[in-house]
Amino acid sequence: MSKEVHSGPTDQHHQARGTAFTGDPDGGAGAAQAEPQALALDGWHRARGGRMVEFAGYSMPVQYEGIMAEHLWTRENAGLFDVSHMGQLLVHGQGADVALERLLPGELQGLADRKLRYSMLLADNGGIIDDLMATRRGSDFYLVVNGSTKHGDIEALENSLPRDVVLDHMKEQALLALQGPKAVEVLDGIVPGVAELTFMEGNAFDAPDFGGSLWISRSGYTGEDGFEISVPGASAEKLADAIAADERVRPVGLGARDSLRLEAGLPLYGHDLDSNTTPVAAGLTFAIQKRRRSEGGFAGAMRILAELHNGPIEKRVGFDIDGRQPVREGARVLDDEGNEVGRITSGGFSPSLQRPIAMGYVAAHLAEPGTALKLEQRSKLFDARVAPMPFVPHRYHRKGAPA
């Protein structure tokens, strides 16, 4: 649930503070409409050479030493990301789970304490307003929503939740993500006990040196093992210093965050997901659990359940692309007769695989892996094949897996 792609460490796009980073280093940037806000770690990023860009209304680092290097470091070691632009919300009050289930298709009433669930905030037409993470914390729910949509999400929730269910925007909290195979060793040395968490599980940890308490979940947006850490903004720099002091950790910017999520086959709201896209077309039916499919009762249920039964018109798929040139968002997908049958929604050069990859939507009858198609970008044609995702296997630490 965040954004960005890059073609390599030497790309010099998006250097100016006032440039709006869209995720495409080859285009789409424009002057920011308003001065971006500074996050709690703004000075921390600049002191470490972060190249700052406008993103989701904030000034954020797109890279430090180079996106290719940061991407590969995260795959092999541990990368520290500042994702404080995202919205942290607390929903509390009697029947919060029942109330949220009217808007989200996920099973929340049966969700165990301290467990996370990926879900979506849905419109009445079944389109996706945003995708998010929901965690049960006793009778309350902690939601993490996308930064670019958080204010609209808050409005949609407040307009729909009953009066006795209250939403608090946790504006004073920063959010850090530590991702990569060595993340658990690093963080457990600073916050003992986090190694006991499994994928999609969170807990509160006493941390007197970092504001008193940290909420930490074993989750992330890279396909790697790792953690997301909610920390009081006033203590964010002290925590970031403690984590980055470990030689296995390097700060990583938005660019590598996006190339990592693309390799992991994870969709990006505003690009691969939007209010015209249903969870079924997006391939997110795993987020609609059995009881919800049986009972319905969520926004857009009639359309979504019909698509589950009959199939969607189009499907989100991955693409392997011949050659070395990346194909970017907006490229057309053509069949062997030259008919437009889909579109690319995310694309870039994969640092791990050393070749271009992409994801997008195609007519459902063409979604089978191996289907040969053409991609058209700026009047140039590229040979491509539908590919299964993820492109790089996930390495989440699931229950029962060796430490």
Which residues are within 8 A (CB) of 33 and not within 5 positions of it... i.e. 6 or more apart? none
pLDDT of the residue at 23: 55
pLDDT for 11 beyond 50? no
33 pLDDT band (50/70/90 cuts)?
low
Supply the pLDDT for residue 395: 98
What are the residues whose beta carbons fall under 8 Å from the beta carbon of 322, sequence distance 6 or more? 382, 383, 384
- Does the pLDDT at position 175 exceed 80? yes
Confidence (pLDDT) at 34: 77
- Look at residue 281 and tell me whether its pLDDT is greater than 90: yes
Q: What SS3 state is found at 100?
A: helix
pLDDT tens by residue, 65-100: 999 999 999 999 999 999 999 999 999 999 999 999
Q: Which amino acid is at 75?
A: R
331: confidence class by pLDDT, cuts 50, 70, 90 = very high
Structure-token pair, residue 251: 């700060």
Note the pLDDT of residue 28: 39
SS3 string of 183-239? Answer: HHHHHHHHCCCHHHCCCCEEEEEEEHHHCEEEEEECCCCCCCCEEEEEEEHHHHHHH
Q: How confident is the model at residue 304 (pLDDT cuts 50, 70, 90)?
A: very high
Predicted local confidence at residue 19, as pLDDT:
37
Phi, psi angle pair for 137, to nearest 5°? -125, 85
Q: Which CATH architecture has domain 37-84+172-263?
A: 2-Layer Sandwich (3.30)
pLDDT value, residue 402:
57
Which of helix, strand or coil describes residue 177? strand
Lowest mean pLDDT among 1-15, 129-143, 225-239, 265-279: 1-15
Residue 306, pLDDT above cutoff 70? yes
Position 361 confidence tier, pLDDT thresholds 50, 70, 90: very high
Q: Distance (Å, rounded) from C-alpha 249 to C-alpha 208?
A: 23
- The pLDDT confidence band at residue 399, using thresholds 50, 70 and 90, is confident
pLDDT tens digits, residue range 108-125? 999 999 999 999 999 999
The burial of 48, by beta-carbon neighbours within 10 Å (0-12 exposed, 13-18 middle, 19 or more buried), is given as middle
Domain ranges of the chain: 37-84+172-263
> At 134, is the pLDDT very low, low, confident or very high (cuts 50, 70, 90)?
very high
How is residue 242 annotated by DSSP?
H
Q: For residue range 178-209, what is the model confidence (pLDDT) as tens digits?
A: 999 999 999 999 999 999 999 999 999 999 99
| Per-residue pLDDT, 401 | 60
- Whole-number mean pLDDT of the chain? 92
Contact 59, 35 (CB under 8 A): no
**pLDDT for the residue numbered 7:** 31
Give the phi and the psi of residue 259 in degrees, each rounded to 5: -65, -35
Residue 215: burial class (beta carbons within 10 Å; 0-12, 13-18, 19+): buried
Q: Which residues contact 222 (CB under 8 A, 6 or more apart)?
A: 74, 79, 179, 180, 257, 260, 261, 264
Residue 13 has pLDDT above 60, yes or no: no
Rounded to an integer, the average pLDDT of 286-313 is 98
DSSP letter assigned to residue 163: T
Q: Where are the beta strands (DSSP E) in 294-339?
A: 314-321, 332-334
